[in-house]
Homo-oligomer: A and B are copies of this chain.
C-alpha cells in the first residue's frame, strides 16, 4: 500500500450560503486547497465528490460533473460518493484508495452541500428518510432530533447522564466556534441558554442540535513520491482509515446507548494506523446533537462506556484537558453541511497537525502529532474513522 499525504486543505465559510450556487460554493474550498498545495486544477488526476442533497436540497441531480467542470477538473476521473452524513469521509477514502493503490498520484476529496435553498421542513423530511424509507420514516415517522433523543433518554436512564451534561457539550463547542472564522454559529452561549431553549425532541433542545448549514471543504492528496517531488514541507500522512456500517432498522439495534458502527470503525482505524486511542492529540467527533458527542467519546474509546458525561463535566475535552475534541466548533457550532462534514473535520485536523490553528488561540498542543476524525452517517448506519499523522 502506497503512503498517502494531505498536501493541501481548504474550507469555505460555513453558514447560510444562498449567495452562491453549489459549484461556486465548492470552488471556495477548492481554490485555497490548490493554492495551499501549489498546484493547478489540471494537475489533479481523480476527484471524489461527497454530497448528498443533489436534486433534493439543491437543483443539480448529478452534480459531480457540473462542480468538477466549474472548478477546472474536466478530464480527471470523477465520482460522486455518498454515505449519508459520512459522505465526506467516504469521498476522502475513495480519493485515498485511488492513490494508495498506485493508480494515480494526485487526487482531491471535495465535500459540498447546499441545504438552505429549500425550506426547513423539506430538509427535515429528507433527513428523516435518510435510513430506511419504510421503517425509519414512514412507519416510525421520526426525524433526526427524535432519533438522537431516543439515544439521549437511554443514556440518561442507564448512566445518569443529565440534560446539563448535554448542554455542556454545546457550551464548549460554541466557545470554540467563536474562535473559528469559518464557523456558522459564532456566538458564545451559556448553560442557561441551552437549558432554556425550546424543546425539540425531549430531552434535546434547540441548542442541543446542530444547525442546517451550507459549505464545502477540500483536501488535496498525494502519493509519497509526489510529496517528495513537490518538496512539500508539512505533509500530513493518512495513518489509517476504518469503516463500518450498521443496521438501518432501529428496532434491530442492540441498545440505544452507543453506535456499534463507531466502535468497529474506530477499532479498525487504530489497527490500520498501528496505534491505540491514547496516542491521539485531538479528535473531531460527529456531534450532530450534543448526546452524539458524549456517545462518541465512549464509542471510540476516549473513556469507558458510561463515562462520557464525566469527560465533558471535567473539561477534559477542551484545550488543556486530556483530549481536546471539536476545537473547530464541531457540527454543533461550525455547522453540518452533510456531504462536507467529513472533509471539513479532516481540514481541521490538517491545520491543527501543521500547527496552523493559531488564529484566535485554537491551536491544540501536540505531543505525538496524531489526530482522529469520527464521522457518522445516519444514526450509526455508516461510520468512517480517519487517523492522520504529521
Stretch at the interface among A5-13, A100-108, A140-148, A355-363: A100-108
Bound form: Cα–Cα A382–B47 in Å:
12
The 7 closest A-B pairs by CB, nearest first: A100-B101, A1-B102, A77-B243, A97-B97, A101-B101, A80-B82, A78-B245
Minimum CB–CB distance from A374 to chain B (whole Å) comes to 15
A74 within 8 A of B: yes
CB nearest neighbor in B for A126:
B61
Stretch at the interface among A128-136, A194-202, A286-294: A128-136
A158 within 8 A of B: no
A82-100 interface bits toward B, Cβ cutoff 8 Å, 1 = contact, 0 = none: 1110000010011011111
CB nearest neighbor in B for A47:
B245
A61-85 interface bits toward B, Cβ cutoff 8 Å, 1 = contact, 0 = none: 1101110110001111111111110
Interface hits, A34-69 → B, CB 8 Å = 46-47, 52, 55-56, 59-62, 64-66, 68-69
Q: Are B101 and A247 in contact (CB under 8 A)?
A: no
Apart from the given pairs A1-B102, A55-B55, 12 other A-B contacts in the complex at a CB distance below 8 Å: A46-B243, A47-B245, A59-B133, A61-B130, A62-B381, A65-B378, A75-B244, A78-B245, A79-B82, A81-B81, A81-B82, A96-B101
A2 neighbours in B (Cβ, 8 Å)? 101
A258 within 8 A of B: no
CB nearest neighbor in B for A81:
B79
A101 neighbours in B (Cβ, 8 Å)? 1-2, 96-97, 99-102
A69 neighbours in B (Cβ, 8 Å)? 132, 245, 247-249
CB nearest neighbor in B for A73:
B245
A152 within 8 A of B: no
A381 neighbours in B (Cβ, 8 Å)? 62, 65
A98 neighbours in B (Cβ, 8 Å)? 97
Residues of A within 8 A of B (CB): 1-2, 46-47, 52, 55-56, 59-62, 64-66, 68-69, 73-84, 90, 93-94, 96-103, 126, 129-133, 241, 243-249, 261, 264, 272, 377-378, 381-382, 384
Choice from B66, B126, B131 contacting A66 with Cβ under 8 Å: B131
Q: Are B97 and A103 in contact (CB under 8 A)?
A: yes
Q: A100-B102, A101-B101 are in contact. Are A62 and B74 (CB under 8 A)?
A: no
A241 neighbours in B (Cβ, 8 Å)? 103
Bound form: Cα–Cα A77–B249 in Å:
17
Bound form: Cα–Cα A97–B1 in Å:
11
Q: A82-B79, A94-B97, A100-B102 are in contact. Are A245 and B62 (CB under 8 A)?
A: no
CB nearest neighbor in B for A85:
B62
A130 neighbours in B (Cβ, 8 Å)? 61-62
Q: Are A82 and B97 in contact (CB under 8 A)?
A: no
CB nearest neighbor in B for A60:
B133
Q: A68-B245, A103-B100, A130-B61 are in contact. Are A79 and B84 (CB under 8 A)?
A: no
Q: Are B1 and A78 in contact (CB under 8 A)?
A: no
A55 neighbours in B (Cβ, 8 Å)? 55-56, 126, 129
Q: Which of A55, A79, A377 is most buried by chain B, counting CB atoms within 10 A of its CB?
A: A79
Q: Are B126 and A77 in contact (CB under 8 A)?
A: no
Bound form: Cα–Cα A59–B56 in Å:
13
A76 neighbours in B (Cβ, 8 Å)? 244-245
Q: Are A377 and B100 in contact (CB under 8 A)?
A: no
A248 neighbours in B (Cβ, 8 Å)? 65-66, 69
A102 neighbours in B (Cβ, 8 Å)? 1, 100-101
